[in-house]
Amino acid sequence: MTDPKTNWWENFFHGIALDFWRAAVSPEQTHAEADFLQQQLQVSGPAKILDVPCGGGRLALDLAARGFRLTGIDISSEFIEEAKTQSVERNLSVEWHNGDMRELPWPGEFDAAFSFGNSFGYLDDQGNAEFLERVVQVLKPGARFAMDTGATAESILPSFQERRWFEIAGIIFLINRRYDHEQGRIFTEYTFIRDNVIEKRPASQRVYSFSEIKRMLNKAGLEVEASFSSLSGEPFRLGSQRLFLAAKKKE
């Protein structure tokens, strides 16, 4: 399958794959996630918030509509162009940047930041640590950072399946993956099929336990203040499908 050193994420997010992600998340889910972020980031308008990586900007746009000042960065040029179009159509002012999520040249500018969409762990250990360090650098003292992931060890390993498939919006989605216990990574080949068009995408993601993520955040300068398994606040535990957490930059 693939190796994180090949930077698989640079060529993943385009074509049918993006159409699938767009269809997989409803407007209601986006609004609920934005509610959660507003509460856990403890911000009020016109606070300045960083969305990294922002994807197509669904959360940044929802939060911008609430009066916050948003900056979004993502490596997918197709996603960023979509975000720009959406912000113009909705008459929302958002600053969009096409680039690596570690390229954050705004020291101490943000009142809060978040990384949603299961985007943590794409890089190797050094890269993941660098990402958290860059986030801390752009936050003001005492500012908060929120993250969600479905790839913690507690979430993914108890019911790990090598092969799965399902269909959304006319797109058949096939997953073929293996867990490498020596690297602590999942290596996956995704297949998207629509109207007899087939697109394959390799990917890999580092699997950290909750305690490992907490230590990484702490080392970067963030103190975990809350962790949940859902947007409604259920506690995170073994077997939870997702981890939502909020951390505060040390002062």
Would the pLDDT of 66 be above 90?
yes
Taking a C-beta distance cutoff of 8 angstroms, is the pair 180, 162 a contact?
Answer: no
Would the pLDDT of 3 be above 60?
no
Would the pLDDT of 22 be above 90?
no
Which phi and psi (to 5°) does residue 108 adopt? 65, 25
**Fold of domain 4-148+208-249:** Rossmann fold (3.40.50)
Instruction: Give residue 11's pLDDT band: very low, low, confident or very high (50, 70, 90).
Output: confident
Would the pLDDT of 125 be above 60?
yes
Task: For residues 188-209, give the mean pLDDT.
Answer: 96
| pLDDT, tens digit (0-9, with 9 covering 90-100), for 159-179 | 999 999 999 999 999 999 999
Instruction: Give residue 2's pLDDT band: very low, low, confident or very high (50, 70, 90).
Output: very low
Euclidean distance between CA atoms 156 and 82, whole angstroms: 31
Q: Above pLDDT 70, what percent of the chain?
A: 98
Taking a C-beta distance cutoff of 8 angstroms, is the pair 101, 52 a contact?
Answer: yes
Instruction: Give residue 6's pLDDT band: very low, low, confident or very high (50, 70, 90).
Output: low
pLDDT value of position 202: 94
Taking a C-beta distance cutoff of 8 angstroms, is the pair 121, 152 a contact?
Answer: no
How is residue 28 written in tokens?
């209601």
User: Could you tell me which of 102, 152, 107, 98 has the C-alpha nearest to residue 127?
Assistant: 102
Instruction: Give residue 190's pLDDT band: very low, low, confident or very high (50, 70, 90).
Output: very high
Euclidean distance between CA atoms 198 and 214, whole angstroms: 39
Task: For residues 25-37, give the mean pLDDT.
Answer: 96
Reported residue count of the chain is: 251
Output the pTM of the full model.
0.94
pLDDT value of position 7: 85
* From 15-29, 70-84, 215-229, the region with the lowest mean pLDDT: 15-29
Would the pLDDT of 4 be above 80?
no
Give residues with Cβ within 8 angstroms of 212, minimum separation 6: 153
Euclidean distance between CA atoms 97 and 75, whole angstroms: 8
What residues does each domain of the chain span? 4-148+208-249, 156-203
Q: Is 43 left (phi over 0), alpha (psi -120 to 50) or beta?
A: beta
Task: For residues 105-127, give the mean pLDDT.
Answer: 95
Amino acid letter, 224 = V
Euclidean distance between CA atoms 142 and 179, whole angstroms: 37
pLDDT value of position 135: 98
- Mean pLDDT, rounded, of the chain: 94
CA distances from 103 to 112, 142, 238 (A): 17, 22, 34
Angle at 76 between CA 58 and CA 216, to 5 degrees: 80
